[in-house]
Amino acid sequence: GINDSPALAQADIGIAMGIKGTEASKEVSDIILKDDNFTTIVKAIEGGRTIYDNIRKFIYYLLVGSLSEVLLIMLAVIVGVNLPLTALMILFINLVTSEFPALGLSVEKANENIMKQRPRNPKEGILSDFVIMRILGTTPIIILGALSLYIWEMFTTANLAKAQTIVFATIIMFELFHAFNAKCWNSSIINKRIFSNVYVIFGVLLAFILTLLVIYLPTLQDVFGTVALNTFDWVLITLVSSSIILFVELKKYALKIEINERKKLELFPTRG
């Protein structure tokens, strides 16, 4: 019912021709094809699916980092120890280093199999149960890693400023590594498309450079309360923070095995 006004009004998404369509059909339609070409609908669907996926990646990436910081501070308050991060450090992470990789994720290219996916439930929210479970399942590794280094530094040197700087750098590095987990939403991080988005790469590098300036530039050290870290500190921070990639990859692999096993257990309608 391309030019049938009652049918267009009743349809979930009414589509009218922009050139040859009647004015009545255009008024009741949700979408008007300006080129009267049905392949445009396919491109629009692909674009919509890509935007939807990128929004979920964006939310997944940002909420994992933000929730980790909140729970880390909350845990320190409950236990009654010195806060592992200062207020300015938290602001810097949220407003500077987290934003650049997230913006890169928002312009991620479409997955090559995106048009082979089943249509999603239109009533499903962006922050679905699946996304929430992914966030809750990834957050503990960041909290555990940052808290472990904080306790270790306080136990060995009792230097609060250095311990806070290590936590500051660790959370940022966790988030920078995690940007690649979010980028490879439904696939392994080990693939040819891992470096395909230059905006993500640029965002990660820019965030890392800004972090180094805050840690090593004397003027910024005074503002943020940071101290210079040595090579051993960075090796330790990198080893701990990069574990988030291994953790997420193992989860993806385990989920893939479970899905394949469940497919084997599905009953065929022709079998009694």
3-state secondary structure the chain: CCCCHHHHHHCCCCEEECCCCCHHHHHHCCEEECCCCCHHHHHHHHHHHHHHHHHHHHHHHHHHHHHHHHHHHHHHHHHCCCCCCCHHHHHHHHHHHCHHHHHHHCCCCCCCCHHHCCCCCCCCCCCCHHHHHHHHHHHHHHHHHHHHHHHHHHHHCCCHHHHHHHHHHHHHHHHHHHHHHHHCCCCCCCCCCCCCCHHHHHHHHHHHHHHHHHHHCHHHHHHHCCCCCCHHHHHHHHHHHCHHHHHHHHHHHHHHHHHHHHHHHCCCCCCC
Q: Shortest CA distance to 166 belongs to which of 227, 223, 116? A: 227
Q: Tell me the one-letter amino acid at 40.
A: T
Q: Residue 216's pLDDT is what?
A: 94
Nearest to 152 by CA among 211, 240, 91, 243: 240
Contact call for residues 172 and 211 (beta carbons, < 8 A): yes
Q: Would you state the structure tokens that stand for residue 3, as one six-digit string?
A: 């030019």
Q: What is the pLDDT of residue 267?
A: 64
* Res 113: pLDDT: 79
pLDDT at 173: 93
pLDDT tens, the chain, 272 aa long: 455 778 888 888 888 888 887 888 888 888 888 887 878 888 888 888 888 888 888 898 999 988 998 898 888 888 877 888 888 999 899 888 888 888 888 888 877 778 888 888 878 778 888 888 888 888 999 999 998 898 888 888 888 899 999 999 999 999 999 998 888 877 777 776 777 888 989 999 999 999 999 999 999 998 988 999 999 999 999 999 999 988 888 888 887 777 777 777 766 666 55
pLDDT at 3: 58
pTM above 0.75, yes or no: yes
244 CB neighbour count, 10 Å cutoff? 22
Q: How high is the pLDDT of residue 193?
A: 73
